[in-house]
Amino acid sequence: MEENQQVKLRVLNGHTETFALHIHGHKPTVTHYDGVDNGPGSYIQRDVHGMAPAQRLDLSLSGVDDGLNSFGQGIWMFHDHVEKSFTTNGHGEGGDISLVVYKGFVDDRGIPSAHGMSLAPYFSKSLWQGKYPIWQDYDGFRSLGLPDLQAEVTPAKVAVQTAPVKASEAALTQQQSPSALGRLFDGLVLGLLGYAVVAKRRPLIAFALKLFDLARSKLVKKG
């Protein structure tokens, strides 16, 4: 596909189960159902298009980057949006994923270029054993978690265009859990507060009653 190009994507569900067609970065518009154009009133633009077995849809796919319905050029996943279809034995990414690839994003052999993204985790034992959180450092803020320091691959090179600066092991450990000294201090403060409340409960109760009587007397005077 080329930049700013408008294409027709004809999809046939040749399976015996329903299919939930989803293309990343684009919101295609269905124009024909089983080859029949029911007019502009039937055109539906959405993220996911449901398809029954043996059904055919014609989709209008825009390559114009308008920041809303299409984000234009790139390598975009194209797959069934049902979980069991884009995983393999419960692990993603897998299943029947395909791609919508723009011109200029393939190498000399016609294979989509990764543009700095490492595919190594998909071919490691730890991923398929369920030991590697594949999307754990998707962005520079690590909003989806901290890297696994025991992983077979370098976490900072997974699923990111620009690898964030890798923090030291000591810094990561400190972020993951509070220090023992900090927990001890918190416990000591809470213990002292609890002891003070129990030991001084009579003066505290008397003080509270005094305040209550004072407030009541003021209300009586105003009344």
Residue 202 vs residue 87, higher pLDDT:
202
Taking only the tens place, the pLDDT of each residue in 59-89 is 999 999 988 888 888 888 888 888 777 777 7
Q: Measured between alpha carbons, how far is 58 from 2 in angstroms, rounded to an integer?
A: 19
What CATH number does residue 4 fall under?
2.60.40.420
| Same domain assignment for residues 3 and 27 | yes
Contact 80, 20 (CB under 8 A): yes
Mean pLDDT value across residues 157-161: 40
Out of 16-25, 33-42, 181-190, pick the least confident: 181-190
Structure confidence at residue 27 as a pLDDT band (50, 70, 90): very high
State the Cα angle at 121 between 116 and 122, rounded to 5°: 105
Q: List, in order, residues 6 or more apart from 98 with CB less than 8 Å away.
A: 77, 78, 79
**Does residue 221 carry a pLDDT above 80?**
no
Residue 217 vs residue 171, higher pLDDT:
217
| Same domain assignment for residues 2 and 101 | yes
| Paired tokens of 87 | 């995983």
| Same domain assignment for residues 159 and 139 | yes
Per-residue pLDDT at 86: 74
Cα torsion at 88, 90, 91, 96 (round to 10°)? 30
**Does residue 200 carry a pLDDT above 60?**
yes
| Same domain assignment for residues 191 and 104 | no
How many other C-beta atoms are found inside a 10 Å radius of the C-beta of residue 10? 10
Taking only the tens place, the pLDDT of each residue in 161-198 is 333 344 445 444 555 556 677 777 788 888 888 877 77
| Same domain assignment for residues 156 and 57 | no
Total-model pTM: 0.54
Q: Measured between alpha carbons, how far is 73 from 70 in angstroms, rounded to an integer?
A: 9
| Same domain assignment for residues 107 and 123 | no
| Same domain assignment for residues 137 and 164 | yes
Q: Give the domain extent around 81.
A: 1-112
Residue 85 vs residue 93, higher pLDDT:
85
Q: List, in order, residues 6 or more apart from 92 with CB less than 8 Å away.
A: 86, 134
